[in-house]
Structure 1
Amino acid sequence: MKIFSDIKALYQPIQPLIRQAADDVAYRELPPAAPLVPFVHCYWELKTTRALDAPFNYRVVADGCIDIFFELHQPQENFVMGFCNQYTEFLLEHTFHYIGIRFLPTMFPQLFSVNAAELSNRFESLHAVVPTVAKFIASDIHPGLTMEQIKDRLDIHLSRQAAKTVFNADGRLYDAIRIILQHEGTLSTEKALDTGISPRQLRRLFEFYIGDTPKTFCKVVRFQNSLRAQPSGYYDQSHFIKDFRNFYGATPRQALNG
């Protein structure tokens, strides 16, 4: 599993802290059980701590991942959100309690044999994509559980899925991903990703396992690394500011200053 563990070691995607209604909305992440570390970045929880005075506009920035999510009081209505090449906004009600599973790049398609390109830039009913997981969430997750208990149940279910999965550890794909992550997305994709496969074939692999092209994945990785580093040097690069606004919904300065 080392070929998959490298992704976890090299890539730590983040979602920015919530500023709007920050005192009344809580967000946290929990790590998966050890066997799932190469596949699941985190479990996450987004909930109101009291009823809000107005609906809550929740912005999700591009992070290169695929997520499963559901409202804890309606677990039978569960969804999967694919790779997004721009930020996404959800208008949430005055009270909510969402639970999610964030899979590292390529891992949702690996675990469930799903073409990531078919989910890109949208969310879909999980029942239509992976009915076994949808049924498990609907039957085994309920509001009486704590987040830690939910995590334990999801750990068990996903570990069983991982144990019976035959993974496609195509070195050409994962060498290309490793190069992108090691360079933090700052490279010329067509020339730098020479891993023994034609650019056209590599694009097909990326579209199936990531959900978009190597070029777009590079941009998302660079954007994510900028969120961590908050480098002022990017602020004067017009092409980067354009990408940042597309992935975040604001300029780097606006994002940093809140």
Structure 2
Amino acid sequence: MKKYHFKLDIIRKYYQPIQPTISKIDGEIIYQEIQPTKKIENMIYCFWNLKTKKKLKKNYLYRVVSDGCIDIFFDNNNPTENYIMGFCKKYTEFQIGKDFNYIGIRFLPSAFPLIFGINAKLLSNNSQELKFILPEFSNWISTEFKTKKTFEEITKLLNEKLIIEFNQQKKEIDTRFLKSLELIFQNNGFLDTENDLNIGLSSRQLRRIFDYYIGTSVKSFSNVVRFQHILNSKPSKESLKNSKLYFDVGFYDQAHFINNFKAFYGVTPSEAFS
């Protein structure tokens, strides 16, 4: 396993990207996550599964909040339909039908470009068919899972495949970039990105390296880290009102916080934490 794999442990250490849980009213839908094998735990946050217990009465609208990650996903009912979704500056909603069994790989920030050597900027703010980005990997999914397998069986095969993919790559990662990530995480995304990242890279170099590894600017990524910090704090509507958590991460008033939160989540904090 490459040495820089272990340098990426700072991402796993500081950053836990959260997606909204399926609410109790969606009792016919199951969402679960399985952790990757230890060999790739600093690259992959989790494998996830979103599926229906039985066919729904109406099409399901699934909301994905901003988490700074890149995901590969496919419908286990039809694995030839496989996709990739890059960094998103705001929440995204998908009409995913009445009967589905989606399985995905959530790559930690910077891991996908490191493994596959693809510029993350090319993937940002949209989802697209995987065959146009990674044709070999897309074909492997289509072929390997043609015979239906359980989520656990698929996870085992994905672990093995990703270990092989990672070991084939020779790209080194700039330790100054990793230091900038560490500073962003340590400050929960609340820092002056122009002045507080004194890591030996010019603003232009930093912008270029963030575009490549994350898919967006330093400031935009920091804003997502700040948003995810609030989600990880697991505030209730009442505690958020009383503790003013948003002041601690640079919001000057409640209105500014609410507007920012809604852009990343799709609803207001009161609706999200009710």
- The correspondence of residues 198-237 of structure 1 with structure 2, limited to 5 A, is 198-231=202-235, 232=240, 233-234=244-245, 236-237=253-254
- Deviation track 1:126-177 (CA, whole Å, cap 9, x = no partner) reads 1110112111101111453111100011111110011111132201111101
How many residues matched? 257
Tell me which residue corresponds to 1:254. Answer: 271
Structure 2 counterpart SS, 1:189: coil
Q: 8 Å contact 1:3–1:169 — kept in the other structure?
A: no
- The correspondence of residues 77-156 of structure 1 with structure 2, limited to 5 A, is 77-142=81-146, 144-156=148-160
For the residues of structure 2 that align with 1:20 and 1:121, how far apart are their CA atoms?
A: 29
- Greater CA deviation, 103-112 or 162-171? 162-171
C-alpha deviation, 1:234, in angstroms: 4.0
Which residue identity lines up with residue 42 of structure 1 in the other structure? Answer: C
Structure 1 unmatched ranges of 5 or more: none
For the residues of structure 2 that align with 1:244 and 1:80, how far apart are their CA atoms?
A: 25
For the residues of structure 2 that align with 1:172 and 1:151, how far apart are their CA atoms?
A: 33
For the residues of structure 2 that align with 1:64 and 1:142, how far apart are their CA atoms?
A: 31
Which residue identity lines up with residue 174 of structure 2 in the other structure? Answer: D
Q: 8 Å contact 2:117–2:171 — kept in the other structure?
A: no
Structure 2 unmatched ranges of 5 or more: 247-252
Structure 2 counterpart SS, 1:243: helix
Q: 1:166 aligns with which of 163, 167, 170?
A: 170
For the residues of structure 2 that align with 1:147 and 1:3, how far apart are their CA atoms?
A: 30
Cα root mean square deviation, aligned: 1.3
Structure 2 counterpart SS, 1:100: strand
Tell me which residue corresponds to 2:250. Answer: none
TM-score (norm 2): 0.91
In the TM superposition, structure 1's runs of 4+ consecutive aligned residues that sit over 6 Å from their partners are none
Q: 1:70 aligns with which of 74, 77, 80?
A: 74
Q: 8 Å contact 1:219–1:243 — kept in the other structure?
A: no
Pair 1:195 & 2:199 matched? yes
Pair 1:32 & 2:49 matched? no
- Deviation track 1:178-210 (CA, whole Å, cap 9, x = no partner) reads 100111111111111110011111011101110
